[in-house]
Amino acid sequence: MKFFIDTADISEIRDLAATGLVDGVTTNPSLIEKSGKNFLDLIAEICETVDGPVSAEVAATDYPTMIKEARKLAAIADNIAVKVPLTPAGLKVCKELTDEGAMVNVTLCFSAGQALLAAKAGATFVSPFVGRLDDIGASGLDLIREIMTIYENYPEISTLILVASVRHAGHIIESAKMGADVATLPPALLRQLYNHPLTDKGLETFVADWKKTGQSIL
């Protein structure tokens, strides 16, 4: 499974990119607003920081404006994945950009039927929002399972499942067990994956025992 980080904080992106664990970045208007930076300049900076796909979202909802915004975003860098909503206008833009060779991330997916439409429109990624489905009493992971089943039935589908709205490690682990292609997660959650109390306890014991030897490796 590939890991994208869901943030527009350039310092966080640089720090995590240096670990080699980050395969891409996703952003959205809410994350851009939190950054307080100029959108286009920030996206260009992120694209220079990571080699993998960087999702940059259109702001318009109507097709004529959306396609203009999408082409402007796609021109920023080769690793831009233009992010469009799963609407009729968004899927039309997806089809056009895909035909032009651009990457497209179709976002705000909440049903298997929507995911099938995104694949037929040629999306590079489809982003099902597991956490938001859980919030309303549905099962986000069941949606991932349904999409996986449908996509596996059709070898010609190349759209990657990008698990979004990830709230906890269970979302990541269960999605990985199903074979989902990508998970996008907040930086804090990625760092949580390092942690286990037995790791901490074992390291504490090793450090204490090493001190008792009185030796130094350097």
For the record, the structure tokens of 114 come out as: 């929507």
1 to 87, 97, 174, 184: CA distances (angstroms): 27, 26, 11, 10
What are the structural domains of the chain? 2-213 (3.20.20.70)
DSSP 8-state secondary structure symbol assigned to residue 159: P
Whether 83 is catalytic: yes
Amino acid 85: pLDDT: 98
Indicate the pTM of the whole model.
Answer: 0.94
- Which residue among 2, 34, 68, 83 is the active-site one? 83
Model confidence band, residue 76 (pLDDT cutoffs 50, 70, 90): very high
pLDDT tier at 23, thresholds 50, 70, 90: very high
Q: What is the pLDDT of residues 121-177, one digit of tens each?
A: 999 999 999 999 999 999 999 999 999 999 999 999 999 999 999 999 999 999 999
DSSP codes of every residue in 61-125? -SHHHHHHHHHHHHTT-TTEEEEEESSHHHHHHHHHHHHTT-EEEEEEE-SHHHHHHHHHTT-SE
Residues near 107 by beta carbon (within 8 Å), at least 6 away in sequence: 28, 55, 57, 83, 84, 85, 86, 127, 164
Q: How far apart are CA 47 and CA 44, in angstroms?
A: 5
List, in sequence order, every residue forming a beta bridge with 55; answer none if it has no partner. 26, 81
Residue % of the chain over a pLDDT of 70: 100
In this structure, are residues 49 and 10 in contact, taking their beta carbons and an 8 Å threshold?
Answer: yes
**Tokens found for residue 95:** 């089809």
Name the CA radius of gyration of the chain, rounded.
20
Q: Is 184 helix (H, G, I), strand (E, B) or coil?
A: strand
